[in-house]
Amino acid sequence: MGILEVRDVNKSFGGLKALNKVELDVEEGSVHAIIGPNGAGKSTFLNCLVGLLIPDSGSVNFDGNSLLGIKPHEINQAGVSRVFQTPEIFSDLSLLDNVVIPTLASRDGAFKLNGWKRADQDSEIIGRAEHMLEDVGLIDKRNMHAGSLSRGDKRRLELAMCLVQNPKLLLLDEPTAGMSRADTNNTIDLLKRIGERGITKVIIEHDMHVVFSLADKVSVMAQGTVIAEGTPEGIKGDPRVQEAYLGGAHL
Ligand SMILES: Nc1ncnc2c1ncn2[C@@H]1O[C@H](COP(=O)(O)OP(=O)(O)OP(=O)(O)O)[C@@H](O)[C@H]1O
């Protein structure tokens, strides 16, 4: 069953057509990778899914409901969570507080600053946040300032902040960008474990090692449109894909 159905989505910036008749079907429980050369429109597309950009036309349906015209926080509450290219964490707060905030938001429906200040007495919230940190391998660092973490750990923390909200759909924008090979492999393992919980994932990724390790299906974007779709093995030999990548990354 398609949990995410995108039809004929278009988005222009002035005279530049960043998205041109984009179509996408994401199966529930699957890992769907979106690849493509720089400037293909991948981030613009993701921004349209989470309400940060509004498409000029087209439809985006998630779990049977339209996401268009809905505010980013409402899309988040509907079960769509996004991990950004640059981790969106609170650098001055501890790891535990970073996870407590979205834990409270998911329980109470919205984030309340006063609620967060009292959260240290809320054993249910603290328990859930600690359990999540344990899950992503960061529990030993729970009292450290988030700003002092390595890049790989920051990505892991951001993932914990998303997962604690029990999303149905997780959108990951280059989850391993800038990571060492060891950190990349740890992240692949972590994402595989998350997969066991049945969370659907859409991953934008340049690293083909990550794509081939995780993806059930791959959509290839170039010049704002989906030019090919299939299994990782299937798209690897597709001449349209090879052409789109000429002079750029290699499959
Ligand atoms: N806010 C904006 N205003 C004007 N042009 C934009 C804006 N955002 C993106 N673009 C342009 O739209 C096109 C698609 O950009 P986008 O960032 O979506 O590509 P991408 O596939 O994510 O690239 P990369 O892999 O380099 O991140 C590019 O030509 C980009 O310069």
Residue nearest to atom 2 of ligand 1 (CA): 13
Residue nearest to atom 9 of ligand 1 (CA): 44
Quote the ipTM score: 0.96
Most informative mutation of 12, 38, 44 for ligand 1 (most atoms within 8 A of CB):
44
Distance 174 CA to ligand 1 centre (A): 14
pTM (predicted TM-score): 0.87
Query: What tokens does 75 get?
Result: 């899309």
User: pLDDT tens per residue, the chain (251 residues)?
Assistant: 689 999 999 999 999 999 999 999 999 999 999 999 999 999 999 999 999 999 999 999 999 999 998 888 889 888 998 876 666 889 999 999 999 988 887 777 665 555 556 666 778 899 999 999 998 889 999 999 999 998 888 888 998 998 998 899 999 998 888 888 888 898 898 888 877 778 999 999 888 899 999 999 999 999 999 999 999 988 888 888 877 775 444 55
* Domain boundaries, given as residue ranges, for the chain: 29-79+167-231+241-251, 89-166
Distance 40 CA to ligand 1 centre (A): 7
Q: Does residue 13 have its Cβ closer than 6 Å to ligand 1?
A: yes
Residue nearest to atom 1 of ligand 1 (CA): 13
> Domain spanning 29-79+167-231+241-251: which superfamily?
P-loop containing nucleotide triphosphate hydrolases (3.40.50.300)
